[in-house]
Amino acid sequence: MSKTVIIASTDKGVALGNIIRTEFPKSLLVSTRQHEQATPIVSIGQFLEKNFKSFDTLIFIGALGICVRSIAAHIEDKETDPAIINMDDRGRFVQSVVSGHLGGANDITRKIAAAIGAQAVITTSSDLQEIWALDTLAAKFGWKQSATADMNQIISLFVNNKRTALLLDVKDQGTAYLEKTLPDFADIYYDFNSIDLEQYDLLIAVTYRVYQADIPVLSFHPQVLHVGMGCSRDIEPDQLEASVYDQLAQQQLAVAAIKTIGSIDVKHDEVAFIALAEQLGVPFITYSAAALNTQQVVNPSEVVMSKLGVHSVSEAAALLSSGNRNLLLEKQKITVPSGKKHTIAIAIDPQAVRKAVVAIVGAGPGDAALISIKGKELVETADLILYAGSLIPEEITHYAKKEAIVRNSASMTLEEQIHLMETHYAKGHLIVRLQSGDPSIYGAIQEQMTIFDEKGMDYYIVPGISSFQAAAASLKSEFTIPEVVQTIILTRGAGKTPLPEHEKLNEMAKHKATMCIFLSATIAKSVQEQLLEHYAPDTPVAVLYRVSWKDEEIYTGELKDLAQIVRENKLTLTTLVIVGAAIGARKNRSHLYSPEWKHTFRTGKALKAKE
C-alpha cells in the first residue's frame, strides 16, 4: 500500500483533500493553512526538503505553478520519482505531473477524477492514443525486460506509430491483453521466422528466447524456464555460472526467463547451485531420489543410477519443477575449465506453451451479460464452442468469431463431444466447453476431465456465476445475515440419483441455513415435508424458474406452500428453490462499515511527517 501525502494550499483545498483522502487509506493531509482537519506545516518547500522521499504519491491541491516550483529541486528521473499529481482547489481538473507511467501518476489521476467528478488531464502520448505504455508492461504482467536500443528511442518509435511487429512465443494474461488491444500499426506473429523484418521499424517480443535483428528489439521475458542440473561436488561457482550463461546463449534462451533451478536433494548445500540461484533471484529446489524417479526422461543414465539411485537428475528435476512432460533442452554434459562437470536440462511451464487447450467456461445463470469477462474473451477467440442449448442461452454464442465452429451438445453423447474436441485439439485450436452457471456446481465436468487426463489434453476451468447467486440478486437478498444465518447450503433432493446417507435434506435442515435446492422441482412435496421437520412452516421460500433468463419467473411464499407453488405453476426443469430467513431480510447491520470498527483500510492511525 503506497504512502500518500496531500498538500493543500487553501482552505478549499483542505476541504477537498479531506474528501479524496478517503480514496487513499494510508495518507496524510498537510497545509500551510491552520485547519483542524490538516497537519500544519510552515512551508511546502521546507516540508518537501525533509519528506519528499518519504512518500510514493504527492497530490498537490492548488495552482500548478506552486506544484512545479516546489518539486523542481527534488525530481531526478522517472525510474525513482514518486507519482506527482496536481489539482485545482475547486476540483475541476486533476493533472498527472510527474511519473505518469512508472510511478502510476496517470492511474491515480484517473482515480481521483472519478472520485470527485473532475476532468483527468493526461498528456503522455501512449495514453492519449490508448496504446500500450511500453515502460510499464513488464511490471504490469510480472515480466522482465531487455532491449537492443535505448528505451526512449523504442518508445518514440512506438508512440509515433512506426510499423511494429509483435511476436508472442508464449501465452499468459499479458499476451492475451496484447492480442486484444493490438494497435492498427502493429502486426502479430507467433513464429519469428515468419516475420519479414524489412517491413518493420520495431520488434516487440514476449518470449523466453533472445532475438537479434537489424531493427530495435524490445523483449519481455516471462519467467517460464525451469533449469535442472547435476554437477561434480564443489564445482567452482564462477565457472558454473559462466557455463550456464554460455549454454543459454548457444540455445538463444533468455537468462531472464529462468524461473527455478532444480537438482537432487543431496545437492541441497552445493555452493555453486545456491550462488547461481541467488544471482538469478530464483528459488533453488531439490528433490528426493524417489520423486526424480517418477519422471520419464529422454536420457537415463546407469552411471547416475549406480551413484545416486536415480536414472536422471537434470532432466527429471526440470520436468518436476515445470510440470511439463517434455523438455525444451535435453541433458547437456559440460566440462568447465577446472575439469569438473555439470549437466543441464531445461523445461518450460506447460501453461505458457502456445498449443491446443480446452477451456471449461462457466457461462453464468442465463443472462448473456452475466458471463465473466474472461469467459466472454474466450468465447470471442475460440475455434470450437460446445454448449448445451437447453441450459445455456444461444445469445452467448453470438460473441463467437465468424469462423468459429459452434455446436449445441444437447443431442450429442459424451463420446461424440470428445471426438469433436479431439479433432480440433489435434489442430492446435482453442476449445471452449460452455457450462451453465458455475462448472463446480452440478456441472458434470468430472467425467470430461477424467477423459482429458487420460488423453493428455490440457484444460483449465473458468468459474462462472451460479444460479443461486443470480437468485440472490433477483430477490434483492443477502443470503448471510449477521447473527441470523451465516451458512449457505447448496444441495438437491433425492430424485433418480440418490443422495449420500449423510446428506439427507431433513438432516441438513437442522442447521436452518439458507438452503439452495437444485434439480428438485419434480419432488417438491417430498422436499417440503423433509424441510418442515426443522424449519417453521412460515419460513420464507422462493421458487425461481430460469432465473436471469428472458422468461424468468419468480414465486415467493412460505415453506408450507412450496409444493403448491410448484404444482400450480407447472414448474419442472431449470427451477431453483431457496429456503431460509435471509430471503428479503433487512436487519442486523454488519460491523464492516461501523464507525467503531477498525480494519486494514480504516485503522484510525494517521501518518506523520518528519519535523
pLDDT of residue 589: 59
Average pLDDT over residues 266-274: 96
Rounded (10°) angle between helices 173-180 and 373-381: 60
| Helix, strand, coil share of the chain (percent; to 5) | 35, 25, 40
Average pLDDT over residues 275-300: 96
- pLDDT bracket for residue 121 (50, 70, 90): very high
**pLDDT, tens digit (0-9, with 9 covering 90-100), for 403-444:** 899 999 988 999 999 999 999 988 888 999 999 999 999 888
Asked whether 567 and 596 are in contact (CB, 8 A), the reply is no
Cα–Cα separations (whole angstroms), residue 505 to 511, 532, 535: 11, 10, 11
pLDDT of residue 318: 97
In sequence order, which residues have a C-beta less than 8 Å from that of residue 176 and are 6 or more positions away? 377
Say yes or no to pLDDT of 21 above 90: no
Among 374, 422, 370, which Cα is nearest to 396's? Answer: 370
With a threshold of 0.85, does the pTM exceed it? no
DSSP state for residue 51 in the 8-state scheme? H
Say yes or no to pLDDT of 227 above 80: yes
DSSP state for residue 281 in the 8-state scheme? T
Q: What span, in angstroms and rounded, lies between the C-alpha atoms of 343 and 329? A: 11
Average pLDDT over residues 574-578: 93
**pLDDT, tens digit (0-9, with 9 covering 90-100), for 26-82:** 789 999 988 888 899 999 999 999 999 899 999 999 999 999 999 999 998 888 899
* CA angle (536 as vertex; 530, 540 as ends), nearest 5: 95
In DSSP notation, 389-447 reads TTTS-GGGGGGS-TT-EEEEGGG--HHHHHHHHHHHHTTT-EEEEEESB-TTTT---HH
Among 283, 336, 285, 348, which Cα is nearest to 313's? Answer: 285
In sequence order, which residues have a C-beta less than 8 Å from that of residue 432 and are 6 or more positions away? 358, 359, 361, 378, 379, 382, 384, 385, 386
pLDDT of residue 600: 53
Q: What is the mean pLDDT of the chain?
A: 91
Say yes or no to pLDDT of 607 above 70: no
pLDDT of residue 595: 55
Say yes or no to pLDDT of 602 above 80: no
Say yes or no to pLDDT of 345 above 80: yes
Average pLDDT over residues 461-484: 92
Asked whether 539 and 579 are in contact (CB, 8 A), the reply is yes
Identity at 578, one-letter amino acid code: I
For 554, the grid coordinates are: 419468480
Q: What span, in angstroms and rounded, lies between the C-alpha atoms of 300 and 312? A: 5
- pLDDT bracket for residue 361 (50, 70, 90): very high
